[in-house]
Structure formats: C-alpha cells, structure tokens
Amino acid sequence: MELSTKPLTGMRQLYPDEMAVEAYIVGRIRDAALAYGFEEYDGPTIEPVELFLAKSGEELVSEQSYLFEDRGGRRVVLRPEMTPSLARMLASAPEVSSPVRWMSFPVCFRYERPQRGRAREFRQFNLDVLGSAGVMGDLEVMLVLDRIMKNLGAPDGAYQIGYSSRELATGVLERIGIAGQDGQKALGAIDRIGKMQPDEWTAYAEAVLGDPGRAVLLGRFASVRSLDDPWMRETASGLPGFDSMLELRRLLEAAGLRAASFDASIVRGLDYYTGTVFELSDTGGGNRRAICGGGRYDNLVGLFGGRPMAGVGFGLGILTLRLFLETYGLIPADPGAASRPDVFVAVYSSAEAATALSWAESLRSSGLRVMMEIEGRSLSRQFRAAGRCGARFVVVAGPDEVASNTASVKNMETGETTRVQAASVAEHILSVPGSRQDSR
C-alpha cells in the first residue's frame, strides 16, 4: 500500500519557513508576558475525560474532543484547552503563593471542521492570573493582550478588545425576567448573535426562550455598546457586575488602553466563566472570528477540593493571530533571520575535516551558530550553500590554512576575505558590527 504524503486532516505540519514565522510570533508574545512577570509552565497532553466533562461542558467533550479509551481502560481525551489542567495543577500545589502569573504555549486538539483560522490540532498561548479576585487581575491580562499586539506591530485601530461580564449579564437577565435555566439558554443565544443574520437570530432567540417579548429584551441587552447607555444604566443600576464594569473601565482609561470598549454581546461560550469576559477582534473585518477570548473563572480551582482561588485569563490561537498579521502585512520578510547560522565552515577535502571540526566546535563555544559542510561538495557549491542558509561569514579550512593554523574568513555581506589565526577567528567575527550571538 502506498503511503499518503499528506497529514491527517486538520493536523499541524510546519516546514522550517513556516516554523520560523511561528517562532517569531511566539517570541513577541513571550516578551510581552515576561514584561509583566509571568512564568511559563506546561501540562499533560492527555487528560481524564472527567476533567473536561466537569469543567468545560458536555458539548466540548462529546462533540469536539478526541475521546478514546487507553490501554489501561481509562477514558481520556487529547486536551481541547488548557485551563482545566491549570486549575487541577494549582489545586494539587497548595504551596504556590498568590497571585499566580502563569503562561503556556500548549498544543491542543478539537475535532471540528477545519476552516480559515481553525484546525483540529492547534497551538495557542494561555495566560492566567490566579489568586486575584478584583478587577486589577482582569486589567492585567488585558494589558498583556494589548502589549502582544503592540509588540507585533499592530497599528492603532486595527484591533479591538471588547469586554463585558457574565455576572452583569446574569443580573440584567434576571431583572428582565430571564432567570435560571432560561438564563443559561439566553447566554448561549447571545454567544451566537455575531454568527447569525439579525432576523435569523431573533427567530432563534424566540425559539430558545419561547417568548417574543423576552427575545426582544434579550436583543436589547446584547446591543449595548456603552456602560453609559440609558437603558443599561437604568436596568443594571446597583448590580455588582455593573459596578465592576465601571471600575474596570476607569482603570483601562488610566492605563491608556484605548483599544478596549464595552460590548454586552460578549459572553463567551464555556460554562466556567463567572465574571469579566473579553474578546480580541479585527476591526477591519478581514478576520471574522475572534482572534482571542478569555475571562474570569472564580469557581474552577475550588472544584478540585483545594483552597478557592479566583482566576482570570485568556487563550490566544497562534494560527488565528498569524492570519491577522498576514492581513495587515505585519510578518517580517525574513522572520527566521535571527536564528540563521552566523558561520559556515567550508572544508576543502576529507584531509582537512578533523581540523575544520575542531574550529567549528570552538566557534560554537564562543556563542556563534555554526553550520559545517558534511557532504564533501566543491568549495563553489559550499559557498552557494552558505548564501542560501544566510550565513554572514564563511570560514575556509583548506590545505594552506590547516598547515599554517590560519583560516580564511569571508564576510558574505562585503565580499572581503581576511586571513586570521585559527585561535582568533571567533574574536574577529564577533568584532564585526551586527554579529549575532546565541547568548545575546
């Protein structure tokens, strides 16, 4: 049987040039989180199904997860998201001091129909603050999200961080006569409002609530785009969730986060959100799906029987973010430049290979990235290979060089060739302006 050259549908497969783009994006994200003192962690790729049934909802597990029985007879899933694993890890580590600032770059799996910005195997960035119950934690994760976009060169006005509150939504729904199970159904309906045409959504809301009048009120709430909206102020007055949103708005303005604005239609679909929720979106409409979403989940860690721990965070899909960057031409022409070899060691023949190897190892020990010829090609072909891989210098180990313990060092940018004592090659290369070092 002839094997297919294609990966399974929706699975990740990145060639070096694609991996360079992802590494560039991940590096900018990591820098933004480190600026706020976050630490990196990871968790198991396979988890017990009960973890996600209890924490993420039946739909995510039964309809969207890779669910199977392992050889030990246990029902397990490939993690569809990271937050439940994070909560379990913290519940089993009571010695961790609060507030916790953790970040991770997990690969996750969801059995969905692949489409633009959505694959079955995907890498994302997760960032969470745990142990902080007030809106300062909400503010901090939103600030990191904004800094990520700035680090990647996103221009002002190209993206928007819309925020709202599940606590506020629940309180308002109760005041307009939509409570209990109907309230949960109403939140689900609001979560669909941006994915349907207005008439289609109204009919859907009427079917869900069984009452055209309540569907109209639900639509009125979902249409609010300002905390100063008169209907909202009258309906939500005195609600803790409304007061929290006013305080969050004040802090966002104080921090200068101009990209953030209130949007009552944002409620997020996962069951564990309890307070502030937010989404990052492309204001130009080039990317219809939310680039990122997150919120507060104050009850999640305590469900494991440990100490209660308030939490807020977000998950940012690397593929979705990459599509946004491509839309605005924000990916550098050569994103892999920072990881290309500094030096290509060219070898005249097998007789010089041992000396060339010694030189290459010495250069690497000096902090330089070195690629060495291993195929025995002609020097002209080796120089072409050095050009293709982007090396700034070629160090030639030929018969004369080996005999005199010197190396011919060619600067590939200027074309200048210099004969240098073998022990001084690294010093010579590092003295040239613009030389890169792994330790930088």
Residue 357 and residue 308 share a domain:
no
Are 197 and 248 in the same domain?
yes
**Identity of residue 439:** S
Q: Give dist(CA 159, CA 152) in Å, integer.
A: 12
For residue 170, give both structure tokens: 């629940």
Q: Look up residue 339 and give its DSSP letter.
A: G
CA distance 254 to 242: 19
Same-domain pairing of 247 and 365: no
257 shares a domain with 288: yes
Final residue belonging to a domain, choices 327, 350, 380 = 327
* Residue from 83, 67, 64 nearest 127 by CA: 83
The total number of structural domains that make up the chain: 2
Model pLDDT, residue 438:
41
Look at residues 287, 304, 327 and tell me which one is the last residue of a structural domain: 327
| Greatest distance between any 2 Cα atoms in the chain | 93
Q: In the prediction, which pLDDT does 196 show?
A: 87
Look at residues 327, 349, 375 and tell me which one is the last residue of a structural domain.
327
Q: Does residue 39 sit within a domain?
A: yes
| Residue numbers in the chain where pLDDT is lower than 70 | 54-59, 269-271, 303, 305-306, 435-440
- 183 contacts 170 by C-beta, under 8 angstroms: yes
Same domain, 161 and 104: yes
- Whole-prediction pTM: 0.87
Cα(247)–Cα(97) distance, integer angstroms = 26
For residues 102 and 41, the answer to whether their CB atoms sit within 8 Å is: yes
| CA quadruple 200, 202, 207, 208: dihedral sign | positive
Give the domain CATH number at 408: 3.40.50.800
For residue 10, being part of any structural domain is answered with: no
Closest Cα to residue 278, out of 391, 377, 135?
A: 135
Provide the H-helix boundaries in 163-229: 166-175, 180-191, 198-209, 212-222
| pLDDT at position 339 | 84
Looking at the fold, whether 309 and 274 belong to one and the same domain comes out as yes
Residue 117's domain is classified under what CATH number? 3.30.930.10
SS (H, E, C) 188-205: HHHHCHHHCCHHHHHHHH
Residue 437 lies in a domain: no
Does 221 map to a domain?
yes
**Amino acid, res. 393:** F
Same domain? 322 vs 348 = no
Residues 279 and 352 in one domain: no
Residue 5 within any structural domain of the chain: no
Answer yes or no: is 185 within a domain. yes
Are both 250 and 354 inside the same structural domain? no
In the three-class reduction of DSSP (H, G, I as helix; E, B as strand; rest coil), residue 331 is classed as coil
Per residue in 225-235, pLDDT (tens digit) is 999 999 999 99
The distance of Cα 402 from the centroid of its chain, to the nearest Å, equals 49
Helix (H) or strand (E) holding 77: strand 75-78
Peptide bond into 99 cis (omega under 30): yes
Domain assignment of residue 392, yes or no? yes
Pair (374, 406) in one structural domain: yes
Residues with Cβ < 8 Å from 306, sequence gap 6 or more? Answer: 90, 91, 92, 94
Residues 348 and 269 in one domain: no
Can you give the residue range of the structural domain that contains 406?
Answer: 340-430
**Domain presence at residue 71:** yes
Asked if residue 383 and residue 294 are part of one domain, the reply reads no
pLDDT one-digit tens code per residue, 251-281:
999 999 999 999 999 998 666 788 999 999 9
Work out the angle between the directed axes of helices 135-151 and 240-255 (0-180°, nearest 10): 40
